[in-house]
Amino acid sequence: MITKEKPRMGMYENVKHQYEKAADLMNLTPAVRKILAITNNEIVVHFPVKMDDGSVEVFTGYRVQHNNALGPYKGGLRYHPTVDIDAARALATWMTWKTSLAGLPYGGGKGGIQLDPSKYSISELERITRRFTYALGDNIGPEHDIPAPDVNTTPQMMAWIADTYMSTKSTNERTKNAHVVTGKPVGAGGLEGRDRATGFGVVVSIKEWAKLKSYDLRGMRYIVQGFGNVGFWASHFMKQHGAILVGVQDASGTIYNADGIDPDQLIVYAQGNNHHISGFPQASEYPTSDFFALDCDIIIPAAMGNQITGENAETIKAMMIAEGANGPVDVEADSILFERNIDVIPDIYCNSGGVIGSYFEWLQNRNGELWQMDEVLTKLESKMGQSFKKLLNTANEFHTDWRTSAYIEAIRRIEQAYIQRGIFP
C-alpha cells in the first residue's frame, strides 16, 4: 500500500488556526473578526542589484502590513531562502498580536528578502539592502511602518536602511527620520541593550514561569536551537541564573555536553567560525534529528518556524518550551504538548522583549533622548511581568492554554480600539 506523506501546515495556516480558536472562544465581534483575518497590505518588490563581478541579479523582497489599529506597523526584516508571501503574512500577523499583548502603540508588519546572505559579500549585501529600501519607498516610514532586525539581518543593515531612507528626504527633514528603523548600532541612534533585548526577555519569561511553578532555575538543564542573536543572549542570561546549557543546534550542526557548554565561550568560538557552532572543542557532535528528544528541563527554540511538529513532539522530555523563535511549534505539536502537560510559553509573549526594546529605541529617537542600559532592561522586565499576569488571568478566565489566552488578550485590545473609535456602532 502506498501511504501519502501528510501535508504540512504552512506558517500562515498555523497562525490562522490559532487565531480562529481564540476568536471563537472570546466571541470576537464579527466585523473585527473579518478585519483581523486578513492582512491590510502586501508589498512585493523586484529590484535589480549590481554584483561585485559586474553582473546584475534581480531580488524579490516582501513587506506585509497586517494591521495598524493600535499604531504604525512594526516588525523585523528577514534575509533567508524561506522568505515568501506565506512566511511574511504569518510573521506580520504574529507581530500584531505581539505588540498588542505588550501594550505597545503599534500594529504588526514583517518582511524580508528571499536570499541566502552567506552567498554575498558585505558590499553586495549593502547594495541589496539599500536597493530594497528604495524599492519599498514610502511603504515604510517612522510613523507608518518601522522595520527591525530578524533572522540574518544585523544592526549594520538597519543603519543602511536608515541612511538610505533619510537620504530620500529633504535636507532639513533628514535627521527627524532616524526612527524609520530600530535595532540600529548604538553609534547610529540605536538603543543600549536592543542587541540583548529579545534574549533577555526570553529569560524574563522563563523566570516568570519558574516563579509560578516554584522552581529554581539554578541547575536546570536546557537546550537551545539557534545560536544567533536570540539563542546566544538567552543562553547568556540563563547562565547568570545558574542554568546549564547541555545542547545547541544551529544551521551548521548539533553539539552536546552533559556537563554543560559555556555560552560565552561558544559565542567567541562561533564568531571565529563563520557564526557556526560545529566543531566547538568542549562538546561532541550529536545527531541533528534527535535534538529535541535530548534529556533536559527546558527547550528554547530560537531559530526558524515549524521545528517542533507532530512528528517529534512525542519524543520531548523537557517540561517546558520557551518560544524564542516565531512559530517554532506547529498546531499539531501544540495539542500533543498540551495533552502531555508540557508548558509552552508562547512566542508572542516569550520573544516580545525585542519589540519592546525597539519601542524604547523609537521613543529615544523621536524624543531626542539617550537611554541607559539598566533603565532599558528594568523597564523591559517590568512590561513583560505585566503581560505575564494578563496572560495567566485570561487563561484562568477562559480555561484555556497560554497561547490561546495570549491571543485573546492581544485581540481584545484591538477589538476595543475598533469599537471605541465607533467604526462598528
Ligand X SMILES: O=C(O)CCC(=O)C(=O)O
Ligand Y SMILES: NC(=O)C1=CN([C@@H]2O[C@H](COP(=O)(O)OP(=O)(O)OC[C@H]3O[C@@H](n4cnc5c(N)ncnc54)[C@H](O)[C@@H]3O)[C@@H](O)[C@H]2O)C=CC1
Binding-site entries: 74, 98, 198, 229, 358
Q: Which cell is 65 given? A: 502590513
Least distance from C-beta 355 to ligand X, angstroms? 4
Site string for ligand X, 106-135 (x = CB under 6 A): ------------------------------
CA distance 214 to 208: 10
Q: How far apart are the first and last CA of the chain?
A: 58
What DSSP line would sit under 94-107, residue for residue? Answer: HHHHHHHHTT-S--
Q: Are 198 and 229 in contact (CB under 8 A)?
A: yes
Closest C-alpha to 290, from 264, 309, 315: 315
Q: Which of 4, 6, 50, 110 is catalytic?
A: 110
The residue number whose beta carbon is nearest to ligand Y equals 228
Measured from the CB atom, is 208 or 415 closer to ligand Y? 208
Residue in 18, 100, 307, 358 binding ligand X, rule: CB under 6 A: 358
List 302's β-bridge partners, or say none. none
Q: Are 78 and 165 in contact (CB under 8 A)?
A: no
Measured from the CB atom, is 137 or 287 closer to ligand Y? 287
Stretch that binds ligand X, among 162-170, 284-292, 338-346, 351-359 (CB under 6 A): 351-359
Q: Are 315 and 342 in contact (CB under 8 A)?
A: no
Q: Are 348 and 101 in contact (CB under 8 A)?
A: yes
Measured from the CB atom, is 163 or 250 closer to ligand Y? 250
The backbone torsions φ and ψ at residue 38, rounded to the nearest 5 degrees and listed phi first, read: -140, 155
Q: Which helix (H) or strand (E) holds 47?
A: strand 41-50
Does 247 interact with ligand Y (rule: CB under 6 A)? Answer: no
List 244's β-bridge partners, or say none. 221
Residue list for the binding site for NAD(+): 198, 229
By DSSP bridging, strand 253-256 and strand 284-285 are antiparallel
Site string for ligand X, 166-205 (x = CB under 6 A): ----------------xx----------------------
Count of C-beta atoms within a 10 Å radius of residue 213? 10
Q: Which of residues 382-411 bind ligand Y (CB under 6 A)?
A: none
CA distance 376 to 157: 22
The option from ligand X, ligand Y, none interacting with 303 (CB < 5 to 8 A, set by class) reads ligand Y
Least distance from C-beta 156 to ligand X, angstroms? 16
Cα distances (Å, whole numbers) of residue 156 to 14, 113, 181: 32, 16, 12
Does 151 interact with ligand Y (rule: CB under 6 A)? Answer: yes
110 classed as catalytic: yes
The option from ligand X, ligand Y, none interacting with 346 (CB < 5 to 8 A, set by class) reads none
Q: Are 183 and 112 in contact (CB under 8 A)?
A: no
Q: Which cell is 301 given? A: 527554540
Measured from the CB atom, is 142 or 247 closer to ligand X? 142
Grid look-up 546584475 returns 56
Least distance from C-beta 347 to ligand X, angstroms? 8
Measured from the CB atom, is 114 or 400 closer to ligand Y? 114
Does 411 interact with ligand X (rule: CB under 6 A)? Answer: no
Site string for ligand X, 68-107 (x = CB under 6 A): ------xxx---------------------x---------
Catalytically active residues, by annotation: 110
Give me the residues that bind ligand X (CB under 6 A), please.
74-76, 98, 148, 150, 182-183, 326, 351, 354-355, 358
Give me the residues that bind ligand Y (CB under 6 A), please.
149-152, 198, 225-231, 249-251, 302-304, 324-326, 351, 354
